[in-house]
């Protein structure tokens, strides 16, 4: 810890540490502060309700910080958070980039950002598409349990949108497993003829995959191999958005 660390910085150090380490000795070790200093700050945090002391003497988040966290989460605007990251990605790959959110059994586009190409994708903000026919939807489905996938199949019937679409539960399971293994999903004319994309999962502060990011292009412009080669860019951008939403790997 730098010797110039002021009182406010010390308080933040202790607060951050106690949210991850319930025992006093671990908090001391994590902050690098003296025991007396750590104890004094913790006492203040307990008095102010930021931290509570459990029945076994360990520290847990207090009502004040839980209330603040709840209010902060209500004000999260993923579109505002993601837009600068999306704009940077568009400049990198020169393709259309989407960010979508799971809503029931569908994906709704929250962001569509286009490159300078003379064409536009057949999509728009607010458009709802089936989860199993889209790259973003497949990333969300990858977070489902096998039972969850079965319930999705039973509810929707897994109707195809093109001749390339997934049509059954086995297809869902295979697609979800591929995302878990590779870290990205592909949509090769499964939602729109002539359009293919690569997508990566976006996680919220709990680690749940509620959103996804995709890079879309025309089949006339990029081969499946070329689209798959853009996966690292999609994954990196999705991880930046996840971090901004509070996800810690």
What's the confidence (pLDDT) of residue 61?
A: 83
Backbone φ and ψ for 196, nearest 5 degrees, come out as -135, 155
**What pLDDT shows up at residue 76?**
63
Place of tokens 């070329």: 226
Tell me, what's the pLDDT at 194?
A: 92
- Give the pLDDT of residue 237: 97
Output the six-digit token pair for 19. 């949210």
CATH 3.40.50.280 fits 78-244, yes or no: no
- Residue 51's pLDDT is 86
Among 192, 196, 194, 180, CA closest to 230: 196
Determine the pLDDT at residue 73.
58
Give, as one character, the DSSP assignment of residue 136.
Answer: H
Question: Minimal CA–CA distance to 42: which of 66, 82, 10?
Answer: 10
Listed by start position, the domains of the chain span: 7-74, 78-244
The tokens for 166 are: 């997934």
Which is nearest to 198 in space by CA: 164, 175, 232? Answer: 232
pLDDT of residue 59: 85
Q: Which of 42, 122, 108 is nearest to 79 (CA)?
A: 108
| 79-85 long-range contacts, CB within 8 A, separation 24+ | 79/110, 79/111, 81/241, 81/244, 81/245, 82/110, 82/111, 82/202, 82/213, 82/241, 82/244, 83/111, 83/113, 85/237, 85/240, 85/241, 85/244
CATH of domain 7-74: 1.10.10.10
Give every residue of the chain whose pLDDT is below 70, as ranges: 1-5, 69-76
- Neighbouring-strand partners of residue 235: none
């Amino acid at each position: 810890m730098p010797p110039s660390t002021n009182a406010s910085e010390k308080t933040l150090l202790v607060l951050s540490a106690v949210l991850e380490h319930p025992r006093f000795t671990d908090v001391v070790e994590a902050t690098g502060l003296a025991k007396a200093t750590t104890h004094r700050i913790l006492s203040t945090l307990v008095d102010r309700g930021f931290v509570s002391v459990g029945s076994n003497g360990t520290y847990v988040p207090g009502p004040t910080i839980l209330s603040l966290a709840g209010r902060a989460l209500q004000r999260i605007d993923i579109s505002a958070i993601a837009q600068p990251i999306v704009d940077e990605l568009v400049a990198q790959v020169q393709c259309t980039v989407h960010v979508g959110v799971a809503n029931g059994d569908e994906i709704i586009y929250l962001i569509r950002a286009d490159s300078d190409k003379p064409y536009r994708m057949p999509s728009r903000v607010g458009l709802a598409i089936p989860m199993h026919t889209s790259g973003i939807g497949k990333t969300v489905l990858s977070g489902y349990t096998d039972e969850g996938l079965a319930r999705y199949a039973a509810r929707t019937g897994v109707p195809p949108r093109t001749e390339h679409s997934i049509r059954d539960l086995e297809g869902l399971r295979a697609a979800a497993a591929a995302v878990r293994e590779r870290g990205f999903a592909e949509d090769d004319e499964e939602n729109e003829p002539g359009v293919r994309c690569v997508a990566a999962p976006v996680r919220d502060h709990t680690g749940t995959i509620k959103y996804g990011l995709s890079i879309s292009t025309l089949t006339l412009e990029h081969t499946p191999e070329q689209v798959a080669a853009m996966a690292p860019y999609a994954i990196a951008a999705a991880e930046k958005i996840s971090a901004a939403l509070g996800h810690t790997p």
